[in-house]
Amino acid sequence: MPRARFRHLAREIAEIGKGFYSRGWAFGTSGNLSAVVERDPLLLAITASGLDKSRLGPSQILGIDADEEVSFGRGKPSSEAAIHVAIVRGRSAGAVFHTHSIWSTVLSERHAREGGLKLEGYEMLKGLENVRSHEHSEWLPILDNSQDLKKLSREVADLLERQPGIHGLLLRGHGLYTWGASPREAKRHVEIFEFLMEVLARSGTRSDTG
Contact residues for a second copy, defined by CB under 8 A: 19, 24, 27-30, 52, 54, 100, 102-103, 105-106, 109-110, 121-124, 127, 132-135, 145, 147, 171, 173-175, 184, 187-188, 191-192, 194-195, 198-199, 201-203
CB of 127 to a second copy, least distance (A): 3
CB of 76 to a second copy, least distance (A): 15
CB of 133 to a second copy, least distance (A): 5
CB of 203 to a second copy, least distance (A): 5
CB of 163 to a second copy, least distance (A): 22
Beta carbon nearer to a second copy, 63 or 103: 103
Beta carbon nearer to a second copy, 37 or 192: 192
Beta carbon nearer to a second copy, 94 or 175: 175
Beta carbon nearer to a second copy, 67 or 135: 135
Among residues 155, 163, 187, which one has the least CA distance to residue 15? 187
Beta carbon nearer to a second copy, 144 or 158: 144
